[in-house]
Structure 1
Amino acid sequence: SAATCTLAAADAAKTLTIPSVSPATLLAAGSNAYTTYYASSSFGFTACPVGLTRVTSAYTYQGSLVGNNNAVATGTASNVQMFVMQSSSPSVSSVLAVNGTSGSLNQATITANAATVPVIVGISSLNSSTSPVLATVGTYTGTYLVAFTY
């Protein structure tokens, strides 16, 4: 759209920090551990022009992917994969593709010229075949580029 909303300045760059978890605990949580071990935040939009009805996001992971939504974390830890969800609470059904595409899960409604786009990033202990395995102790990180359309 030629007309856009205003993204809150504090939301232009985000850092989400997932609480520390031991490799054994993460593995015990299974392949869907990302619904238990995660960090959440949101992107706030204001001053949306009349006529705009939704904000659509597209996440692109700046690293290696396994499939369309398993982001392989970088750092000293191994066997850690990250998942992005656009939801107010983590769930398997809200996992987004992080290959630059978007779908119905990537949409937030604009109400009264404003919108809030929730984001959750969670981790699981998975190998390159997406099988649950013990992660190694260490650091992990990942970077996503998020594009918004109206």
Structure 2
Amino acid sequence: MRQITLPFTATLPLLLLACSSLQAATTVSVTGNVTAAGCRLSAADTSKSLVIPSVSAADLSAGFAGGLEGWLNYNASTTLNFTNCPTTVTHVSVNMSSTTGTALGGYNKGAVVPASGSAQGVVLMLAVGSGSNQYLLFADGSNARDFTVQNDGTVTIPVLVGVNAARAFNSAAPAVSAGSYSNTFTLSFTYS
């Protein structure tokens, strides 16, 4: 999310209606800042649709799909590409600003119950980065991950969304049942 404020100072005398010989005036002062341009997100990356490969309810439920990290077994991935970052921008920070689903909250605030569909007992999780630098984003937007701008002014952010059994996070969650699910995540970006 690029934040832009405009810096200028203006003084604006306002003449109010004159009654007889009575006059009034006021002064309004305005200040602000102009920030440097941010990076350019590739047009193809402004909206992404991912399809997680089908998984059986039995496989997803077996051992709660590998515990808390089971969502890494059943996932889909993409990348978000930024170009034309000015030399004053050295990092692009990403966080989840909203989701159409419902976050489990507490310790499990990275797990999201999908917004719609007939499948029961599943949660989705979204991470950015790769390998040992993969970072789960929280649905409440309370955490962010920084990515370093390369010397050529580009940044590539790997994104992975996975599905897991909700019981891996909450033993009272419903059992996994067959069906579809869908959800939308909105990511925000800050340049520094």
Quick one: distance in 2 between partners of 1:144 and 1:45?
A: 19
Output one character per residue of 1:67-119: Cα deviation in whole Å (capped at 9) or x when no partner: 1211001211011100111122489x73221212333xx11110020101111
Output one character per residue of 1:32-83: Cα deviation in whole Å (capped at 9) or x when no partner: 2201100111110000011111111111222211012110012110111001
**Paired residue for 1:26?**
60
Cα RMSD between the aligned structures?
A: 2.1
The yes-or-no answer on 1:94 pairing with 2:135 is yes
CA contact (8 A) 2:79 2:158 kept: yes
TM-score (norm 2): 0.70
Quick one: distance in 2 between partners of 1:126 and 1:7?
A: 33
Aligned identity (percent) is: 33
The yes-or-no answer on 1:62 pairing with 2:100 is yes
Aligned pair count reads 147
**Paired residue for 1:141?**
182
Residue 77 of structure 1, aligned match among 106, 115, 119: 119
Q: Which moved more, 1:25-34 or 1:64-73?
A: 25-34
Quick one: distance in 2 between partners of 1:114 and 1:134?
A: 44
CA contact (8 A) 1:79 1:128 kept: no
Structure 2 gaps, min length 5:
4-34
Q: Which moved more, 1:116-125 or 1:130-139?
A: 130-139
Quick one: distance in 2 between partners of 1:94 and 1:36?
A: 16
**Paired residue for 2:75?**
38
Higher relative contact order (CA 8 A, sep 6+): 1
* Partner SS state of residue 26, structure 1: helix
TM-score (norm 1): 0.88
* Partner SS state of residue 149, structure 1: strand
Quick one: distance in 1 between partners of 2:46 and 2:75?
A: 20
